[in-house]
Amino acid sequence: MGKRRRRGRAQDASDRVRRLGQLSLWIFGALLILFGILYALVAVAVIIHGGGHHGVVHHRI
């Protein structure tokens, strides 16, 4: 009876570790998507505000 209970505890611990691993992957994925969105927003803002030319005006000839 003792071995059976220990195996159940080990399985419970294994299940907890598996759930924590899945949760960490979901969190990592969400942070990666958030970073991508923020990067795109910053890129759009830089493009809209002159693309980093620092006030240089280009005249057409």
In tens, the pLDDT along 25-36 reads 999 999 999 999
How many domains would you assign to the chain?
1
Show the domain range for 44. Answer: 1-61
pLDDT digits (tens, 9 = 90+) for 4-60: 566 789 899 999 999 999 999 999 999 999 999 999 999 999 899 876 555 556 667
Structure confidence at residue 7 (pLDDT): 72
Exposure string for 16-46, b = 16+ CB within 10 A, e = fewer: eeeeeeeeeeeeeeeeeeeeeeeeeeeeeee
Report the pLDDT value the prediction gives residue 31, as an integer from 0 to 100: 98
pLDDT at 38: 98
Instruction: Find the farthest-apart pair of alpha carbons in the chain and give their distance in angstroms, rounded.
Output: 91
CA distance 21 to 15: 10
pLDDT of residue 43: 93
